[in-house]
Amino acid sequence: MADYRLAEAESRFADLIWEHAPIHSPKLAEMTAEVMKWRKSNV
């Protein structure tokens, strides 16, 4: 089985999900806008 590594942004996104799970997608989009400066389309 191949080893996989997440990119920095993917890792931060995954951490955000794990820290706030369970979380609904509208709240996740709101949080990523604040924390990561992402838009809803990025999520």
Show me where the domains of the chain are located. 8-42
Average pLDDT for residues 13-30, to the nearest whole number?
93
Average pLDDT for residues 8-34, to the nearest whole number?
93
The predicted structure's pLDDT at residue 23: 93
pLDDT band (50, 70, 90) for residue 39: confident
**Rounded distance between C-alpha atoms, residue 22 and residue 18, angstroms:** 8
The predicted structure's pLDDT at residue 15: 95
Q: Is residue 1 scored above 80 in pLDDT?
A: no
The predicted structure's pLDDT at residue 42: 77
Q: Is residue 28 within 8 Å of residue 16, measured between CB atoms? A: yes
